[in-house]
Amino acid sequence: MSEQVSEEVITEVEDGVLIVTINRPEAKNAMTKAASEAIAAAMDRLDAEDDLRVGILTGAGGTFCSGMDLKGFLRGESPSVPGRGFGGVVQAPPAKPLIAAVEGYALAGGLELMIACDLVVANAGAKFGIPEAKRGLVAAAGGVMMLPDQIPERVAMELALTGDFIDAKRAYELGMINTVTEGSALEGAKELAAKIAANGPLAVRVSKQIMKESRGWPMDERYDRQGKLIAPVFVSEDAREGAAAFAEKRAPNWKGK
Q: Are 83 and 36 in contact (CB under 8 A)?
A: no
User: Which of these is catalytic: 8, 37, 103, 132?
Assistant: 132
Residues 227 and 108 in one domain: no
Q: Which three-class secondary structure state does DSSP give residue 111?
A: helix
- In Å, how far from its chain's centre is CA 242? 27
The pLDDT, as a whole number, for residue 4 is: 56
Contacts of 227 (CB under 8 A, 6+ apart): none
Helix residue ranges per DSSP H, 22-167: 33-48, 70-74, 109-116, 143-150, 153-162
Give me the CATH number covering residue 157. 3.90.226.10
Domain membership of residue 190 as a residue range = 2-197
Residues 184 and 205 in one domain: no
The pLDDT, as a whole number, for residue 74 is: 77
In a domain? residue 44: yes
The pLDDT, as a whole number, for residue 76 is: 78
Residues 213 and 118 in one domain: no
Residues 74 and 169 in one domain: yes
How far is the C-alpha of 170 from the C-alpha of 132, rounded, in Å? 20
Residues 210 and 117 in one domain: no
* Annotation says 191 is catalytic: no
In a domain? residue 252: no
Residues 167 and 215 in one domain: no
CB atoms within 10 A of CB 101: 30
Q: How far is CA 134 from CA 25, 116, 139, 180, in A?
A: 23, 23, 11, 28
* Annotation says 132 is catalytic: yes
How far is the C-alpha of 177 from the C-alpha of 114, rounded, in Å? 9
User: Which of these is catalytic: 3, 103, 112, 213?
Assistant: 112
DSSP for 204-237 reads HHHHHHHHHHGGGS-GGGHHHHHHHHHHHHHTSH
Per residue of the chain (257 residues), give pLDDT as tens: 555 556 899 999 999 999 999 999 999 999 999 999 999 999 999 999 999 999 999 999 999 999 998 777 778 788 999 999 999 999 999 999 999 999 999 999 999 999 999 999 999 999 999 999 998 999 999 999 999 999 999 999 999 999 999 999 999 999 999 999 999 999 999 999 999 999 999 999 999 999 999 998 999 999 999 999 999 999 999 999 999 999 999 999 898 88
The pLDDT, as a whole number, for residue 25 is: 95
How far is the C-alpha of 59 from the C-alpha of 228, rounded, in Å? 38
